[in-house]
Amino acid sequence: MRMALTNGRVLLDEGFRRDVAVLVEGGRVAALPAEADLPAGIARRDLGGAMLLPGFIDTQVNGGGGVLFNDVPTAEGVAAIGRAHRRFGTIGFMPTLISDDIEKVALAIAAVDQAIADGVPGVLGIHIEGPFLNVDRKGIHAEDRIRRADAGDLAVLTQAGRGRRMVTVAPEKVDPDQLQTLVEAGLLVCAGHTDATYAVTRRALDQGLRGFTHLFNAMSQLGSREPGVVGAALSDEASWCGIIVDGAHVAPVVLRLALRCSRPERFMLVTDAMPTVGAASKSFVLQGKTIEVRGGVCVDDAGTLAGSDLDMATAVRNAVSMLGLDLAQAARMASLHPAEFLGLGHELGRIAPGYRASFVLADDGINVLDSWIDGVSAKEEPARATG
């Protein structure tokens, strides 16, 4: 199927362009011609002057649409979460499993593998956050699920499967040889919920640690004599930092300072979204704890942050209003940067010939009007049942 998207403000590498159409063929961008040069008789969609952005990619999605991945580790659960987030421009996501037993981890891996095999739109792989974390930085993770890894755990994590596989660990709680095994198996290993020293984190980076899960949250902070995990993250030039821009997880001024410390290209927006995103109900149960959205923030009875009620379109909007980024920069932090982190920067995150036709159409307020995944509009996507 060939079609052309016309009369839009298209975000290209050099910035927004009004003078190009986006020609889509076979689920990819075929060309970016002037509208006058489009082939005769081709189907066209007039974008009405709205912005066409590269589709958003979220590497940390615990739930959405009333579904928590830990509770529904099935292909149907993955599909329901994807549908909820697509309404907010997320065209690629990593369903995220919060610390749980190894049997649940195996189920979650199998669910994502099946979802990809079934062609569930947008699912790129799985993010396993824990359970190999530091109890002292557990956040909302259940203490009784946190433990050190053993050979059986590594066998489950490194089994063959589809899509990308990301795992968040506390480097001080994983033996160096175990970390090396994960890296050599192709997993994207990130540090999070960790009290590691700078030296331990630096050693992990030298072994192939790929990035940092929700920078500043649940990790050792930058100090005058001990730089901690935050100091290692900001001083390293090769790794990636996920940031939650909701004004609650991290003070905006701290994130603005972080962006000054290192290359902005190393930062990517994440939501850490919970089931409340895209759902009418603003409460849910997480491993026995009731979580409620108060003032736009997910917390338990003690006020502990429990993921977020943030969607990616709002994260982009906040990056502009809270961090002072221009829209093109903010959009790239939600698209190109996570694509490159995942090793998919050659096919996602840009609107360019040869890239997958995965876009977001938004108005000036960054309200999502439509989205495409591999050339298929959300308005054309067939409905799927939720299991």
Q: Annotated catalytic sites, by residue? A: 272
- Can you say which residues are annotated as belonging to the binding site? 129, 140, 193, 214, 217-218, 225, 249, 305-307
Neighbours of 158 (CB within 10 A): 16
As to burial, measured by CB atoms within 10 angstroms (0-12 exposed, 13-18 middle, 19+ buried), residue 289 is middle
String of DSSP letters for 4-38: EEES-EEEETTEEESS--EEEETTEEEE---GGGS
Specify whether the CB–CB gap between 284 and 68 falls below 8 A: yes
Can you count the helices (H) and strands (E) in the chain? 10, 23
What is the DSSP secondary structure assignment for residue 352, as one 8-state letter?
S
Alpha helix ranges (H) inside the chain: 75-86, 102-117, 151-157, 176-184, 198-207, 228-235, 252-261, 312-321, 327-333, 336-341
What is the DSSP secondary structure assignment for residue 94, as one 8-state letter?
E
**Residue 3 structure tokens:** 């079609």
**Closest to 341 in 3D by CA, of 215, 161, 203, 216:** 215
- Can you say which residues are annotated as belonging to the binding site for substrate? 140, 217-218, 225, 249, 305-307
Specify whether the CB–CB gap between 42 and 48 falls below 8 A: no
Cα 117 to the center of its chain, rounded Å: 20
Q: How far apart are CA 294 and CA 309, in angstroms?
A: 10
Q: Which residues contact 11 (CB under 8 A, 6 or more apart)?
A: 51, 52, 53, 54, 328, 331, 351
